[in-house]
């Protein structure tokens, strides 16, 4: 009898366990367990003027936009706690830099729409740092000089585009979850400033296998049905695969990585809801995609180099995406603060902190260091190795020991190039401020940008920001951090967040976020005054000041302490000047009409050939074709002509050529490199343009159509 009851009890126990286990895999309960956030994603066009606007990045006044290869886009991600008490916004925008002007404009529009739901604290805007997009959208003079001042239409296009991407993400919020995975990407990048990097202490460098940061972090955004809604990928590398002789708007290697990922997922750029892949920027300060040094990338030309570097990032990202098995778990929180970086007292513990240091336990007031008014050095003017200015007066490594203020001659000689080019720049040249030479030593000061009148030429009140989603921590920095600078910042934030926590956090640096103020090199890198050190604005102790302030911010987040917002940065939107005229009129040769073919296509092509056609056109500034296209490649089918490619596709190029500036004539050249998988048939090329009537100023739309041709 005892054995019988024992047998019954065992059967009952097993049955109970099986029933219990069966109930835990119920689909609804499973979704409740993993869908711990509301997630929303959106994307919008921010391409800007495709003609006669200097590009942002290389500061080359001869590098003006002359068409489009890849359109630029803003990619927005919103994550909200399931109980809706807090939400955050992350945007990766394909821009050269994310200036404070843009953050101010976007937050203003969001608050006009949603009240205080979105604000500086929970909105993080980051630039990919492409060097092939139109400039002139900053409110600070240094970044607008090469573009001949402020370009309002570009500013408005960017603000509207980022705002609209966030609105789409807001409207797409739905229950979901986020997966995270990390890895290392080899063979894609090099340290372009290896001499400066090697000046860091050997014991610190020994901690790392590579002389650049090669860490990649990928997030998958999924809904309750486990559909992949979007991806954010962070990897530090300069988008300088396209050199300073390029004139076509392009997102460069990160833009191409996004493009091929979104093409694979059949993204519809005109849809309110579609798959989005952001290849965002991190601490790229000294990291170049040109693995053969200087301006030499993987391929025989810029396009091949861009494609290869973009593909490498894409393939590694998808490897991480497909193998991701860890979910973000935990609440959203954030901290944001504005700080005057021109006047920070820095404790010695942060001055001495390295990427192998322990977290400072006590902070002393002895042997403190200071930051100072912003200034840039002689070596700034030479450009970086992968984007040299080719100005013979300047080279990397120009220090105050070799070019002392006392002699005067070298300083005048070095500054003369800029004084001749821009006469009013002498109000901020370094010779006028001898006391700053000692403060910024060993930097010989070319421009004292912090002393500009009536306003500084670069901002000094800057935002720092931390956003936490579960075990992921994003650090928004308003600058380009070098590899070692980024490693130190990530370490001190991670140590702070991991302290007294059972969770091990992953820290990513969101580079060029919310504002922009040059580079941040380590003090030892600064000493050599390579391009990155000369571009470190607030002096030798700039990095320690960031370490100190981010440590404070992370501590406040960890403890739940309220963060003081800090000083309000100036808004200079009403103080802008431009020295570039708008479109006066467009014209055509006598006997022609807008949209007429000037040079037609051939009658037939093979796959791999390039079909080329030109049309008489108007200035691209007349209509930016935002969320639209200047061209269509069309194929004839049983249902008529259908569109198969646009001006944002890799195989197409829209080129604008000014023929006669006085008469006002111009041509649109359209190229289609016919892909190997193109099906044989009948094709044509369509151009969508707009011209400005010189008599009444009206903008008139038109279309041009090539002859039909056969693809064999």
Please give, one letter per residue, the 3-state secondary structure of 104-139: HHHHHHHHHHHCCCCCHHHEEEEECCCCCEECCCCC
Across the chain, what does the average pLDDT equal? Answer: 92
| Mean pLDDT of the 280-298 span | 95
Q: 38 with 53: CB under 8 angstroms?
A: no
Nearest to 128, CA basis, from 72, 182, 181, 184: 72
pLDDT in tens, 120-151: 999 999 999 999 999 999 999 999 999 999 99
**504 and 618 assigned to the same domain:** no
Q: How many CB atoms lie within 10 A of CB 646?
A: 19
Total count of domains within the chain: 3
| Mean pLDDT of the 258-271 span | 98
The beta-strand segments (E) located in 318-393 are: 326-327, 332-340, 345-346, 369-370, 376-377
| Mean pLDDT of the 76-84 span | 97
**198 and 173 assigned to the same domain:** yes
Q: 88 with 120: CB under 8 angstroms?
A: no
Spatial separation of the C-alpha atoms in residues 582 and 579, rounded to whole Å = 10
Task: Give the distance from CA 637 to its chain's centroid.
Answer: 40
pLDDT at 6 over 90: no
Q: Is residue 380 part of a domain?
A: no
Q: What is the pLDDT of residue 366?
A: 83
Q: What is the pLDDT of residue 417?
A: 56
Residues in the chain: 712
Q: Is residue 555 part of a domain?
A: no
Q: What is the dihedral of CA 355, 361, 367, 372, to 10 degrees?
A: 60
3-state secondary structure of 258: helix
Q: What is the pLDDT of residue 11?
A: 34
**155 and 178 assigned to the same domain:** yes
Spatial separation of the C-alpha atoms in residues 244 and 186, rounded to whole Å = 26
Spatial separation of the C-alpha atoms in residues 80 and 471, rounded to whole Å = 15
pLDDT at 23 over 80: no
**106 and 206 assigned to the same domain:** yes
Nearest to 280, CA basis, from 422, 467, 414, 432: 467
Antiparallel, parallel or unpaired: β 190-191 and 287-288: antiparallel
| Mean pLDDT of the 422-427 span | 59
Nearest to 566, CA basis, from 339, 344, 343, 334: 339
Phi (first) and psi of residue 435, to 5 degrees: -65, -25
108-113 contacts, C-beta under 8 A, 24 or more apart = 109/159, 109/160, 109/163, 110/163, 110/166, 113/167
Q: Is residue 325 part of a domain?
A: yes
Domain extent for 10: 2-32
**137 and 283 assigned to the same domain:** yes
Spatial separation of the C-alpha atoms in residues 120 and 98, rounded to whole Å = 14
Q: What is the pLDDT of residue 421?
A: 52
**267 and 162 assigned to the same domain:** yes
pLDDT in tens, 328-373: 999 999 999 999 999 999 999 999 999 999 999 888 878 899 999 9
Q: 467 with 88: CB under 8 angstroms?
A: yes
Q: Is residue 589 part of a domain?
A: no
Q: What is the pLDDT of residue 258?
A: 98
Q: Is residue 179 part of a domain?
A: yes
Burial label for 322, CB within 10 Å (0-12, 13-18, 19+), is exposed
Spatial separation of the C-alpha atoms in residues 703 and 686, rounded to whole Å = 7
Q: What is the pLDDT of residue 14?
A: 32
Q: How confident is the model at residue 432 (pLDDT cuts 50, 70, 90)?
A: confident
Q: Enumerate the β-bridge partners of residue 536.
A: 519
**610 and 465 assigned to the same domain:** no
Q: What is the pLDDT of residue 425?
A: 62
Q: 282 with 235: CB under 8 angstroms?
A: yes
Task: Give the distance from CA 375 to its chain's centroid.
Answer: 24
Spatial separation of the C-alpha atoms in residues 72 and 525, rounded to whole Å = 33
**613 and 508 assigned to the same domain:** no
Say what percent of the chain tops pLDDT 70: 92
Q: 268 with 317: CB under 8 angstroms?
A: no
Q: How many CB atoms lie within 10 A of CB 27?
A: 8
Q: What is the pLDDT of residue 21?
A: 37
pLDDT in tens, 390-422: 888 889 999 999 999 877 556 656 555 555 555
Q: What is the pLDDT of residue 416?
A: 56
**135 and 241 assigned to the same domain:** yes
**72 and 151 assigned to the same domain:** yes
Q: Which residue has the higher pLDDT, 477 or 365?
A: 477
Residues 6+ apart with CB under 8 A from 6: none
CA distances from 709 to 457, 492, 526, 634 (A): 54, 62, 59, 11
Q: How confident is the model at residue 18 (pLDDT cuts 50, 70, 90)?
A: very low
Spatial separation of the C-alpha atoms in residues 651 and 673, rounded to whole Å = 5
Catalytic annotation, residues: 288
Q: How confident is the model at residue 428 (pLDDT cuts 50, 70, 90)?
A: confident
SS (H, E, C) 163-220: HHHHHHHHHCCEEEEEEEEEEECCCCCEECCHHHHCCCCHHHHCCCCCCCCCEEEEEE
Q: What is the pLDDT of residue 128?
A: 98
Q: How confident is the model at residue 25 (pLDDT cuts 50, 70, 90)?
A: very low
| Mean pLDDT of the 529-546 span | 98
Q: What is the pLDDT of residue 290?
A: 96
Q: How confident is the model at residue 575 (pLDDT cuts 50, 70, 90)?
A: very high
Q: What is the DSSP letter of 622?
A: G
Q: How confident is the model at residue 88 (pLDDT cuts 50, 70, 90)?
A: very high
pLDDT in tens, 181-232: 999 999 999 999 999 999 999 999 999 999 999 999 999 999 999 999 999 9
Say what percent of the chain tops pLDDT 90: 87
Q: Is residue 526 part of a domain?
A: no
302-323 and 252-264 helices cross at what angle (nearest 10)? 50
Q: How many CB atoms lie within 10 A of CB 349?
A: 19
Q: Is residue 634 part of a domain?
A: yes
Phi (first) and psi of residue 534, to 5 degrees: -65, -20
**69 and 24 assigned to the same domain:** no
| Mean pLDDT of the 7-31 span | 33
Look up residue 21 and give its two tokens: 């286990």
110-114 contacts, C-beta under 8 A, 24 or more apart = 110/163, 110/166, 113/167, 114/170
Q: Enumerate the β-bridge partners of residue 228.
A: 222
Number of H helices, E strands in the chain: 16, 34
- The domain that contains 646 carries what CATH number? 2.60.40.2300
Antiparallel, parallel or unpaired: β 709-711 and 604-605: parallel
Nearest to 517, CA basis, from 567, 564, 481: 481
**26 and 107 assigned to the same domain:** no
Look up residue 247 and give its two tokens: 């004139």
Q: Is residue 586 part of a domain?
A: no
């Amino acid at each position: 009898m005892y054995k019988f009851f024992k047998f019954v009890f065992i059967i009952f126990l097993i049955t109970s366990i099986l029933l219990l286990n069966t109930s835990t895999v119920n689909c609804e309960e499973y979704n409740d367990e993993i869908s711990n956030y509301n997630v929303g994603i959106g994307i919008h066009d921010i391409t800007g003027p495709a003609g006669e606007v200097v590009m942002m990045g290389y500061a080359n006044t001869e590098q003006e936009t002359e068409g489009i290869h890849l359109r630029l886009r803003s990619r927005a991600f919103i994550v909200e706690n399931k109980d809706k008490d807090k939400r955050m916004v992350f945007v990766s925008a394909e821009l050269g830099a994310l200036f404070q002007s843009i953050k101010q404009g976007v937050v203003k529009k969001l608050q006009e729409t949603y009240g205080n739901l979105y604000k500086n604290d929970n909105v993080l805007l980051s630039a990919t740092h492409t060097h092939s997009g139109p400039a002139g959208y900053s409110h600070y003079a240094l970044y607008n000089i090469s573009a001949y001042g402020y370009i309002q239409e570009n500013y408005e296009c960017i603000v509207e585009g980022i705002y609209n991407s966030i609105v789409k993400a807001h409207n797409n919020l739905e229950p979901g979850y986020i997966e995270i995975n990390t890895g290392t990407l080899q063979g894609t990048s090099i340290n372009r400033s290896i001499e400066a990097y090697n000046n860091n202490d050997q014991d610190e460098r020994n901690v790392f296998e590579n002389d650049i940061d090669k860490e990649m972090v990928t997030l998958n955004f999924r809904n309750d049905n486990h559909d992949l809604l979007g991806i954010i990928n962070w990897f530090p590398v300069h988008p300088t695969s396209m050199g300073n002789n390029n004139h076509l708007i392009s997102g460069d290697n990160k833009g191409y990585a996004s493009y091929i990922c979104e093409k694979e997922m059949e993204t519809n750029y005109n849809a309110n809801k579609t798959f989005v892949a952001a290849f965002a920027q991190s601490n790229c300060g000294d990291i170049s995609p040109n693995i053969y040094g200087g301006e030499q990338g993987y391929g025989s030309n810029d396009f091949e180099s861009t494609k290869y570097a973009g593909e490498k990032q894409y393939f590694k990202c998808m490897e991480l995406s497909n193998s991701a098995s860890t979910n973000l778990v935990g609440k959203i929180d954030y901290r944001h603060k504005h700080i005057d970086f021109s006047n920070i007292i820095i404790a010695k513990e942060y001055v001495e902190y390295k990427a192998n240091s322990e977290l400072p336990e006590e902070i002393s007031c002895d042997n403190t260091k200071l930051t100072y008014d912003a200034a840039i050095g002689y070596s700034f003017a030479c450009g970086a190795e992968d984007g040299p200015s080719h100005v013979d007066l300047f080279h990397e490594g120009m220090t105050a020991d070799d070019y002392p203020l006392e002699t005067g001659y070298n300083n005048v000689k070095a500054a003369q190039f800029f004084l001749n080019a821009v006469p009013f720049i002498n109000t901020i040249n370094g010779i006028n401020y001898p006391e700053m030479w000692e403060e910024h030593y060993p930097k010989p000061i070319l421009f004292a940008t912090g002393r500009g009148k009536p306003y500084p030429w670069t901002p000094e009140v800057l935002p720092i920001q931390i956003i936490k989603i579960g075990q992921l921590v994003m650090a928004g920095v308003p600058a380009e951090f070098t590899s070692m600078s980024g490693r130190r910042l990530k370490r001190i934030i991670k140590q702070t967040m991991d302290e007294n926590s059972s969770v091990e956090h992953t820290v990513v640096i969101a580079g060029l976020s919310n504002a922009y103020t040059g580079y941040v090199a380590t003090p030892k890198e600064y000493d050599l005054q390579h391009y990155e050190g000369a571009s470190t604005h607030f002096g030798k102790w700039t990095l320690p000041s960031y370490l100190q302030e981010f440590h404070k911010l992370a501590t406040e987040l960890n403890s739940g302490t309220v963060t003081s917002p800090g000083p309000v940065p100036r808004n200079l939107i009403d103080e802008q000047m431009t020295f570039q005229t708008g479109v006066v009129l467009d014209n055509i040769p006598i006997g022609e009409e807008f949209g007429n073919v000037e040079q037609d296509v051939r009658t037939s092509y093979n796959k791999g050939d390039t079909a080329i056609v030109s049309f008489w056109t108007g200035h691209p500034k007349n209509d930016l074709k935002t969320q639209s296209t200047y061209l269509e490649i069309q194929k004839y089918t049983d249902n008529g002509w259908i569109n198969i490619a646009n001006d944002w596709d890799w195989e197409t190029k829209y080129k604008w050529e000014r023929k006669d500036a006085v008469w006002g004539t111009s041509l649109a050249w359209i190229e289609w490199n016919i892909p190997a998988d193109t099906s044989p048939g009948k094709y044509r090329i369509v151009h969508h343009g707009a011209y400005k009537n010189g008599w009444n100023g009206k903008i008139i739309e038109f279309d041009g159509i090539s002859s039909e041709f056969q693809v064999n």
